[in-house]
Amino acid sequence: MIGKMFKSLFGGSGEGAKTKSEAMTVAYQEYLIIAEPRPANGQWQVSGRIEKQVGDTTRTHTFIRADTLPDETGAANEMVRKAKMMIDQQGDSIFD
């Protein structure tokens, strides 16, 4: 019982409830932006990934920012905003 409590508090083996914005996916140009905010010290850290299908291959760029926000939805929205800016500025070179 105490073990389950610690797992739920500290993330344990990755089991447990998924966050509500884990499924937040936005199509932008020919990319897919997947917001995956992470809990961090009582706040939500801006993180996620950008994917692009190239033939039979899915190219992925994962990033985690130092930015934290008080709510998960805000962190997910900020991730999408930053990802769009990164795509606009760097294009496919984000995968290099």
> Which residues have CB under 8 Å from 80's CB, separation 6+?
24, 26, 33, 35, 48
Q: What pLDDT band is residue 16 in, cutting at 50, 70 and 90? A: very low
Res 92 pLDDT > 70: yes
Q: What is the pLDDT at residue 20?
A: 52
Q: What pLDDT band is residue 91 in, cutting at 50, 70 and 90? A: very high
Asked if 87 and 94 count as a contact pair (C-beta separation under 8 A), the reply is yes
Total number of domains constituting the chain: 1
pLDDT digits (tens, 9 = 90+) for 32-66: 999 999 999 999 999 999 999 999 999 999 989 99
| Domain-located, residue 37 | yes
- Residue 57 structural domain: 17-95
| Domain-located, residue 49 | yes
* pLDDT average, residue stretch 13-24: 48
CATH, residue 74: 3.30.160.350
pTM of the full predicted structure?
A: 0.74
| Domain-located, residue 60 | yes
